[in-house]
Amino acid sequence: MTSAGTRSVPGRSRSFKVANGQVSFAEFIQAQMKTIGIDVAIQIYDPAQYATALMQSGDFQLAFSLGPVDSLHPGVARLLRTGGTANHGKYSNPEVDRLLDRAMLTTDPEERADAYRQVELISGRDLAVGWFSRGYASTITRPEVNGVSRYLNLAIWFDRMWIDRHQ
């Protein structure tokens, strides 16, 4: 037992390689993993070194990658398909690849939803990706402005906004 009352599990240590702007997030993950007995050592790199030496090479146990999955297709396929352009961890599962193909090719929304549900279950079981969400953007408007919504990239959808002139 450690002084915090958590157990350290032999063989359960990982290195977490991050760019220098991601240290606070890495410390958050380090604290969370410690509660389940996994020791995480943080290694900090400058952004250029991080992008080339780590993300492109796949030379990491844990790494931070920022980017939204703005739509299921092609976002999830880029992340989870064998050889996907955002699959920096080199995750590969033939069943996930087959389900991603099925989701992409079908015109039936229920079949597509079922395929993506199965992809989520399998990749979650495989621990292919740890999903974390942080959002700090806010939009302040006058009370009469309604329908404000944003894309994941923080741009505003102006086509959904309207003004209530009776307020």
Instruction: Report how far residue 40's alpha carbon sits from residue 32's, in angstroms, rounded to the nearest whole number.
Output: 10
87-119 pLDDT, tens per residue? 878 899 999 999 999 999 999 999 999 999 999
Total domains in the chain come to 3
The residue range of the domain holding 165 is 135-167
Q: Are residues 73 and 98 in the same domain?
A: yes
Mean pLDDT over residues 120-135, rounded? 77
> Which three-class secondary structure state does DSSP give residue 47?
helix
Q: Are residues 62 and 37 in the same domain?
A: yes
Q: Are residues 100 and 140 in the same domain?
A: no
- Contact status, residue 139 vs residue 158, Cβ threshold 8 Å: no
Q: Are residues 100 and 120 in the same domain?
A: yes
Q: Are residues 9 and 60 in the same domain?
A: yes
Q: Are residues 81 and 140 in the same domain?
A: no
Q: What is the pTM of this model?
A: 0.57
> Which three-class secondary structure state does DSSP give residue 131?
coil
The torsion angle over the Cα atoms of residues 79, 83, 86 and 90, rounded to 10 degrees, is 80
